[in-house]
Structure 1
């Protein structure tokens, strides 16, 4: 069954909020509008277990623009089993409840921002956050999720999103040289040696995982963004 979009309002028992300021929050990685509420999340309490921001839906009015993210079962360090009824922005988890209709909505740590990534300033002086498609897998290795378009006029970066770094290569995706071309292009963009890179299978033929040794995720993201900006200037 397709996932349903959730437009959730607080209960009728919520207090009167006429005149209160509304706060708009966006997914920190995709820039999607995910929540409007009269609660200032910067002043809301944090859950000790995972640092999530706690929104009391009986005390504040709110509206979610999310989809059902399913149930996530976690085992805490204490040994306790916890169920999270999650809400997603696309594939990205944004919030959860501990019960299907629970009073408290937990916004995952670093999942939302009051500044849209679609805005020109991208959070003012701060750099945009590293998207989840670029992540550390150990102390000295970064994993980059690739989505590959083939038979292009030249290799290039098309887009950097939360889900993947989308690139184009000149060979057909099934050609034996396609993987080599993708790696060589990433080598030139990231400014690393070919020996620092390895290409792994992904979810499909067009999805690959690139492992980069001795390059931090933030540095990799900056180099990818620089290449994208360079292409736009041509």
Structure 2
């Protein structure tokens, strides 16, 4: 008896959605600039918890690749006396998200903790971080960078590059001509350019400036700034005034029937917060 054979015919209509067909969003810690999350969910459109305004991400409904370390468990007491458990997830030393169960389905992204870029295949394949939005091209041969300056420090250095600002520390004051000259001299050495290629424009305050660099691309400016950050001595890279307050102010627990976007209220004492309804 000859062996039975089965012929299967597939068409493109039989193929389900694949990751490459969806836009991917790459999220970074807003304060440290560390890569924290890649997902196909636009967090700007995701539901939020009413208790702390955290973004609710369903890890079963969306592609989620989390780049975070265990931040330990925290107990938060709400104003009505209930206690909520949070299993924190850190980007570096800063918490950016939490779960209410160790392996819970729902991931809660702390409000205002992440910033995003839309990833393309070339950026993901290269494995290198994209240029943050605080550094951009304004002309064919000119690059603009948003600066945030810490004054009266012990040393001059580039502290960090985040999505919003290049944070720099100088010894003087930005309200004086000497302080601005000190800032330009520091950036001249970091970027490897002449002083004539640098200019400062007004920002939203005295400590915030727009740097214009002539003759360098945004990619080169970002690379040289980040190289300077990476070369900082650990003992000088972060003083006490740079520590970010990551505490959560307890908020009122809502009525379950009024929780927006299907997000659930906080748990009762010694119980985890319930996830949002599907």
TM-score by length of 2: 0.45
Structure 1 or 2: larger strand share? 1
What residue number does 1:134 align with?
135
What residue number does 2:210 align with?
209
For 1:167, what is the secondary structure of its paired residue?
Answer: strand
Determine the C-alpha separation between the residues in 2 that align with 1:26 and 1:36. Answer: 17
Cα displacement string for residues 31-76 of structure 1 (whole angstroms, at most 9, x for unaligned residues):
45554442349xxxxxxxxxxxxxxxxxxx9877476xxxxxxxxx
Whether the aligned pair in 2 keeps the contact of 1:29 and 1:132 (CA below 8 Å) is no
Determine the C-alpha separation between the residues in 2 that align with 1:140 and 1:29. Answer: 30
For 1:231, what is the secondary structure of its paired residue?
Answer: coil
Kindly indicate whether structure 1 or structure 2 has the higher relative contact order, using CA contacts under 8 Å at least 6 residues apart. 2
Shift in Å, 1:26: 5.0
Whether the aligned pair in 2 keeps the contact of 1:133 and 1:165 (CA below 8 Å) is yes
Give the aligned CA root-mean-square deviation in angstroms. Answer: 3.4
Unaligned runs of 5+ residues in structure 2 are 1-23, 38-42, 44-56, 65-104, 236-278
For 2:147, what is the secondary structure of its paired residue?
Answer: strand
What residue number does 2:17 align with?
none
**Bigger Rg, which one:** 2
Alignment of 1:150 onto 2:163:
no
Unaligned runs of 5+ residues in structure 1 are 1-23, 42-60, 68-88, 95-107, 114-122
Distance 1:197 1:29, change over 3 A: farther
Shift in Å, 1:90: 5.8
Determine the C-alpha separation between the residues in 2 that align with 1:132 and 1:180. Answer: 25
Whether the aligned pair in 2 keeps the contact of 1:145 and 1:165 (CA below 8 Å) is yes
Whether the aligned pair in 2 keeps the contact of 1:200 and 1:210 (CA below 8 Å) is yes
TM-score by length of 1: 0.53
What residue number does 1:189 align with?
190
Whether the aligned pair in 1 keeps the contact of 2:58 and 2:106 (CA below 8 Å) is yes
Shift in Å, 1:110: 2.8
For 2:118, what is the secondary structure of its paired residue?
Answer: coil
What residue number does 1:227 align with?
228
What residue number does 2:238 align with?
none
Shift in Å, 1:91: 8.7
Shift in Å, 1:166: 0.5
What residue number does 1:58 align with?
none
Distance 1:26 1:91, change over 3 A: closer
What residue number does 1:39 align with?
62
Cα displacement string for residues 79-98 of structure 1 (whole angstroms, at most 9, x for unaligned residues):
xxxxxxxxxx5695x5xxxx
Please list, as runs of the form range in 1=range in 2, the aligned pairs for 1:91-170 lying within 5 A after superposition.
92=115, 109-110=118-119, 126-170=127-171
- Equivalenced residues, count: 147
